[in-house]
Every structure is written in structure tokens, then in C-alpha cells.
Amino acid sequence: MQVQLNYYDWDQGTAKQQYEILRGYGIPVMVMEPVHGSMLANLPEECLQFLPKTGASPAAWALRFVMNLPGVAVVLSGMSDMRQTEENVNTAALEDKLTDEELSKLEKIS
């Protein structure tokens, strides 16, 4: 089933509850709006300070958040040019999970 899911809506909206219901029934999760309509890709300067300093873009961190969740089968990510396509493919290819510290930093932004 498809739900709007991103780290901003995780605690601000119903994303976490919807995700947990789907997981409870063993239903694969399809994520829409992983960057909250580009809001999480275009963070204000005061929020950028909280992102882990790895060189990854704000959009990549938003994608990594949802890809990090167990049971996520599909992430629908709009891409308008080849640079975004390449960045999203490279982000999806990462196999390492987010650390607790990285998750904590994303939580501070939301």
C-alpha cells in the first residue's frame, strides 16, 4: 500500500502510525513524497547545519530515511533531470543503514 512517508511527516503527521499498521499486517510499503514535495530537498540554512557532514544532498538524506525502514518495497521519487536521476540511483545503491546519530540529526530538522 502507498503512504506519504518522510522524516518530516514521521512524527508531525500520521506517517509513522500508517507505516506501523502496514508492517503489523506484513503489507509491503510503497512510499510517496519521500522529500515532502521538495521541501526536504530545499532546506533552509538553519536546518542544513543538522545534516550529517558527508557531502550527500538533503534530498539524498530524505531518501535514505525511507529506504532505511524495514518493509519499504518501493520509493516513488520524482526526478526532473539526469543529475537527480543519478543522485537517486547512487543513493538507492547504498547498502549501509543510517546510524542512530544520523537518525537523531534528521529528527532535529523535523
As a whole number of angstroms, the distance between CA 48 and CA 45 comes to: 5
Model-wide pTM > 0.75: yes
Residue 102's pLDDT is 92
pLDDT tens per residue, range 94-108: 988 999 999 999 998
SS (H, E, C) the chain: CEEECCHHHHHHCCHHHHHHHHHHCCCCEEEECCCCCCCCCCCCHHHHCCCCCCCCCHHHHHHHHHHCCCCEEEECCCCCCHHHHHHHHHHHHCCCCCCHHHHHHHHHHC
As a whole number of angstroms, the distance between CA 103 and CA 21 comes to: 21
Answer yes or no: CATH 3.40.50.720 is held by domain 2-109: no
Residues 6+ apart with CB under 8 A from 87: 57, 59, 60
pLDDT tens per residue, range 30-40: 999 999 999 99
pLDDT at 86 over 90: yes
From the number of C-beta atoms within 10 Å of its C-beta (0-12, 13-18, 19+), residue 9 rates as buried
Every domain of the chain and the residues it spans: 2-109
Which has more pLDDT, 75 or 108?
75
User: Cell 506517517, residue?
Assistant: 15
